[in-house]
Amino acid sequence: MNARAFNGRFGTRIALASAAGACLLAVAACAQHGGQASTVPGQAAGTSQPAAPPLPSTAPQLQDDYQAVVARVLPSVVQITTDQGLGSGVVFDKQGDIVTNDHVVGNAQHFQVRLSSSPTSVPASLVGTYPPDDLAVIKLDQPPASLMPATFGNSAQLRIGAIVLALGNPLGLSGSVTEGIISATGRTVSEPRSADSPGATLPDVLQTSAAINPGNSGGALVDLSGQVIGVPTLAALDQQVGGGAAPGIGFAIPSNLVSDIAGQIVHNGHVVNSHRAALGVGVVTVIDSAGQPGGAGVASVTSGGPAATAGIQPSSVITQIGGQPVHSDADLTKLLAGMQPGQQVPIVLNDPQTGSNKTITVTLGQLPGS
């Protein structure tokens, strides 16, 4: 999968043949040679070394906390395999529903799921997806009685600096765990389009320093109480170093949104309430006289939608919304992702024929469900 800055989605098309090779590490020789004991430089052989300073009193407790969280949550994290690649998922309920990313399931309808307690995979089928939030639910065809659903926490209570662990199957290495902190909240990031995914603009995501690698998508980001507070989805790339990974910058969909959207899919088979704002237009990026992106050109207007009601016509160019500049269709999508249905916002329109601008107020509608 091609990766882009702030939108390298992880979870599909991972080459598994080399996964074992990736685990071979060069180890520096540390053994004694010729029967001679090594000494610290500047210290005579046979002299005693100063005692090591004691560990901080909190270190053993923190380690115990880490181990307890992993033991509690790992049974609820699964590996999902399709014909196109692999990713991770989180057990949502005892009935066998598993929440994951839309880009993990892609266009597939059937899956192989490996539980942490078994070396063999079990079949699963698609329940439903909601691409705008990059979420999907699949269901085990025959869920075992021992299935352990995860506990989803309240992501609205997260604070920057909170310690978190990311559990998943990066590069096919099942049951892998990385650790970090919540680096920021309320980010808006975009994912790229691909052959089997329309891409998505994700509002209010969590930024974490826990390593997010290919195959982590759809897994669990958990706090030290063992509650899932996010679903790892993508990682940042640094274009200044040729698109290489930007260490310590990953993103996760907050658990409150995951619980809401997954719950709607489980109960209805689709999303009935997106909670997301919509303008009711189809737009493309237009280029100004200097050859730079000059706004979001209105290519189509949904009949009866918010834009049509406000009098927006095709061929107009949106250059501002809510007081924020719009240079491209991506800008408009990101700004709408941070707004609410029913919100009244001013929009600045440019008429390409006359070059004149006008401002109108639009009452935003709701993005349709799935």
What is the set of active-site residues? 103, 134, 217
- Nearest CA to 134 out of 74, 192, 214, 220 is that of 192
Alpha-carbon gap, residue 222 to 236, rounded angstroms: 20
Residue 294 CB partners (closer than 8 Å, separation 6+): 286, 287, 288, 317, 319, 327
CA 312 to chain CA centroid, Å, is 34
Task: Let me know: does 269 contact 127? Beta carbons within 8 Å.
Answer: yes
CA 240 to chain CA centroid, Å, is 22
Expressed in percent and rounded to 5, the helix, strand and coil fractions of the chain are 20, 40, 45
The torsion region of residue 142 among left (phi > 0), alpha (psi -120 to 50) and beta comes to beta
Take residue 20 and report the two structure tokens written for it.
Answer: 């074992």
